[in-house]
Structure 1
Amino acid sequence: MARPKQEEDPRLLTKVSKLYYEEGLNQDEIMTRLQLSRSKVSRLLKRARDRGIVKITVVPPPGLFPDLEAELEERYHLKEAVVVEVRDPQSQPLVSRELGIAAANYLIRTLQDNDVIGVSWGTTLSHMVAALEPRPANGVHVVQIIGGLGPSESEVHATDLCRRLAQLLQCRLTLLPAPGIVDHGEVKEIILSDSHVRHCFELFSRITVAYVGVGAPTPDSVIMRDGSIITQEELDALLQKGAVGDIALRFFDAFGRPVLSELDERVIGISLEELRQIKRVVGVAGGPKKVEVLRGALRGGLINVLITDHVTAYQLVR
């Protein structure tokens, strides 16, 4: 007949726990001091946690949101969420700057040898690049994933962003030598026949991580500021079709489904379907007008890493 399993002595459980957690002894030191085997010490520590004698609590410093990040990750099936406490959640310029700094930290923390980094365009990504310190990267390759948009001298221009990033990482660079949007589909076909443009497009399938802005189609957005990217009439047509936002000028609805229009026939850059094939797509966005945009991108699986501000994050899990 099997001998009944004996309960561990509560006094011994408590003593081992206090030595380990409060006095800082390691398991070998406890083993010697109490004349126990190492496996016995390990088993006692586990049993103490199981019985509630030891309760481990993680107390995050102010300004960190581990529970909120975990809820975002679970709800939207994210690889990682980074939630940033921002000083003025209603100020888009301040939010963009602080998210850019967080994105720069994330980039350096996660950078791997031989990464192929796709980069779109936008104000927040410009702040990300501005916050980076020079750091040689082994075998890394930066690839521009949408043609140039807006004034070429602008710091948010995709070409400028990619060039600055490659200089900071001291790595290879492939630019997309084309405008991000052209007047007619026929012009796009001619541009796509260029060997340099084709070479850049061929690299899209090799991208291991992409950094993208997530835009809101509002009259004061970066795509509307000077009228050189899309017109108000084009924006109105997209809104009527249900567009809530865009990534690299590829518009999507509240569930992350592509909103197709004649604009797609004129955009020179990565498609949403190609974006979904990338292992890690980091969306860097936040601010007072980005909640529904981000919700759509998350629902559609267009991004799987999110870097956003704490107010937007709370609204996304509400």
Structure 2
Amino acid sequence: MVREVQDETDAFAAEVCWHYYVNGMTQAEIAQQLDATRLRVNQAIQRAKVAGMVKVRIEAPFIARIELQEAVRLRLGLRRVLVVPARQEPYDCHCAVGAALANYLTEKLRTRSWRSIGVSWGMTLEHAIRKLPQQSHSDLEIVSMLGGTMQGASFNSFSIVSGFAAALGANYSLLAAPIFLSEGVEREAFLAQEIFAAHFAKLESLDAAILTASDISPRSFLIANGLPKEISPDDLMRAGAIGDVLGRFLGRDGTRIDHPIDRRTIGVDLDIVRRIPEKVLAAAGRHKVDIIRAASMSGLVDTLVTDDVTAELIISGGLGQAHEEAAE
């Protein structure tokens, strides 16, 4: 545990020094980009000098990762990218990213006065909850951003929102509705019920959002178990879908597809998501490269948390696995 804390401190110092000595940024600019105080940036530079990290060049094992992060950030046009090493054999696209998200969220809650955080669902967020240290944020509320399913109990939206709240010592607000309405049910009439009004009002004023993304394949729990029986993955792909964020299916250019399922989805509208001050997307895997790109193009991502396998594919312009399979 002590070693992990030291590694995180060294990694921050290395990133600060890279921007300061190589990119020529001021301490104020670095503090703004890394969402840290100017004092912390200054202390990191001094600590790096004392430790011998700063000489003619920056000597640290984290530089390759920082370069990779910067390359992905520039490629996708994002505010910040966090890249963590993934387990290669067997490859796990959830564990490392979930742990990194837990660290990022813990640091943000230590330095920022967030009052409300919207959350999506999925196995990556379940892994993040497992890695979160027990905290106490009694003035914080975790708000579910979409409906749920009756299956996938440990990582559906109902369990994720309560799991985050328990780990963070926070309150929570649950959207107690299905993710997709049954065919023929009028969405506006359904949401007009009084029990939903207060919840959707909270979605209009979130301080941050923790999002995930999925492709159109059986790897996606939503595709495998959550779609209405009369809608198939082929239907969605014919409409141009390459994946979803918050149950909203996007095309390759980041626009929402024109399909009846979009009008049956119970959750926050993507236009509202775009106005949230900080949107964090936690996603990794060859099969998610295309939807990560699409979500970034759509303005749904400020900070991306991913792994090195995915990052290399993004900057190389490599095709996502969903695209490769469709081409075969």
Tell me the TM-score range normalised by the shorter chain: 0.7 to 0.9
Write the distance in 2 (CA, Å) between the matches of 1:190 and 1:127: 36
Matched residue, 2:285? 287
Task: Report the number of matched residues.
Answer: 261
Match of 1:128 in 2: 128
Alignment-derived partner of residue 161 in structure 2: 162
CA shift for structure 1 position 182: 1.4
Displacement after TM superposition at 1:158 (Å) = 0.5
What SS does the aligned partner of 2:272 have? Answer: helix
Structure 1 counterpart of 2:103:
105
Q: Which residue type is aligned with residue 133 of structure 1?
A: P
2:154 partner amino acid:
E
Q: TM-score, normalised by structure 2?
A: 0.74
Q: Could you give the per-residue CA deviations for residues 160-201 of structure 1, whole angstroms, max 9, x where no partner exists? A: 110111112112211112111111353533431222211111
Aligned residue for 1:177, secondary structure, equals coil
Give the corresponding residue for 1:76: 76
- SS of the residue corresponding to residue 251 of structure 1 reads strand
Q: How far has the Cα of 1:268 moved from its partner?
A: 0.5
How far off is 1:225 after superposition? 2.7
Counterpart of 2:21?
A: none
Determine the structure 2 residue equivalent to 1:19: none
Change (3 A) 1:288 1:55: same
- Given the alignment of the two structures, is residue 299 of structure 1 paired with residue 287 of structure 2, yes or no? no
One-letter identity of the residue aligned with 2:292 = L
CA distance in 1, matches of 2:87, 2:131: 18
Q: Which residue of 2 aligns with 1:252?
A: 250
- Following the alignment from structure 1 to structure 2, what is the Cα–Cα distance between the partners of residues 310 and 162? 28
Q: Distance in 2 between matches of 1:138 and 1:70?
A: 35
CA contact (8 A) 1:69 1:81 kept: yes
Give the aligned residue type for 2:246: A
For residues 64 and 146 of structure 1, what CA distance do their matches in structure 2 show? 37
Percent sequence identity is 28
Specify whether residues 90 and 217 from structure 1 end up closer, same or farther in structure 2 by C-alpha distance, changes over 3 A only: farther
Which residue in 2 is equivalent to 1:207?
Answer: 206
The amino acid across from 1:122 in the alignment is: G
How many Å separate the matches in 2 of 1:67 and 1:232? 46
Residues 211 and 275 of structure 1: CA distance in aligned 2, closer, same or farther (over 3 Å) = same
**Could you say which residue in structure 1 is the equivalent of 2:38?**
none
The structure-2 alpha-carbon separation of the partners of 1:64 and 1:138, relative to structure 1 and needing over 3 Å to count, comes to: farther
Please report how far the alpha carbon of residue 308 of structure 1 lies from its aligned counterpart in structure 2 after TM superposition. Answer: 0.7
User: Deviation of residue 128 (structure 1)?
Assistant: 0.9
**Pairwise CA RMSD of aligned residues?**
2.1
Q: Which residue of 2 aligns with 1:37?
A: none
1:113, distance to aligned residue in structure 2 (A): 2.3
Structure with greater proportional helix content: 2
Query: Contact 2:114 / 2:208 at 8 angstroms: preserved in 1?
Result: no
The match for 1:315 is 313
Which residue identity is paired with 1:130? R
Quote how far apart the aligned CAs of 1:89 are.
Answer: 7.2
| Contact 1:181/1:266, CA 8 A, preserved across alignment | yes
- Does 2:114 match 1:119? no
Counterpart in the other structure of 1:191? 190
Q: TM-score, normalized by length of structure 1?
A: 0.76
* 8 A contact 1:78–1:305 mirrored in 2: yes
Residue 79 of structure 1 deviates from its aligned partner by 1.8
Cα deviation for residue 130 of structure 1 reads: 1.5
Counterpart Cα distance in 1 of 2:309 and 2:68: 11
CA pair 58-96 structure 1, distance change in 2 beyond 3 A: same
Query: Which secondary structure does the structure 1 equivalent of 2:214 belong to?
Result: coil
2:72 match: secondary structure: helix
Q: Which residue of 1 aligns with 2:177?
A: 178
Q: Which runs of 5+ in 2 are unaligned?
A: 1-53, 317-328
* Matched position secondary structure for 1:210: strand
The C-alpha deviation readout for 1:64-97, integer Å capped at 9, x for no partner, is: 6001111222232212101011112763xx2211
Q: Partners of 2:89 and 2:63 in 1: how far apart?
A: 14
Contact residue 114 and residue 207 of structure 2 kept, 8 A: no
Residue pair 1:243, 1:252 contacting (<8 A) in 2 also: yes
What do the CA deviations read for 1:242-261 (whole angstroms, capped 9, x no partner)?
Answer: 11110011011111111121
Read off the aligned partner of 1:145 and give its amino acid letter.
Answer: M
Partner Cα distance (1:60, 1:198) in 2: 52
SS at match of 1:142: strand
Contact 1:185/1:265 (8 A) holds in 2: no
Q: Secondary structure at the match of 2:244?
A: strand
Q: Distance in 1 between matches of 2:63 and 2:56?
A: 21
What is the deviation of 1:230? 3.7
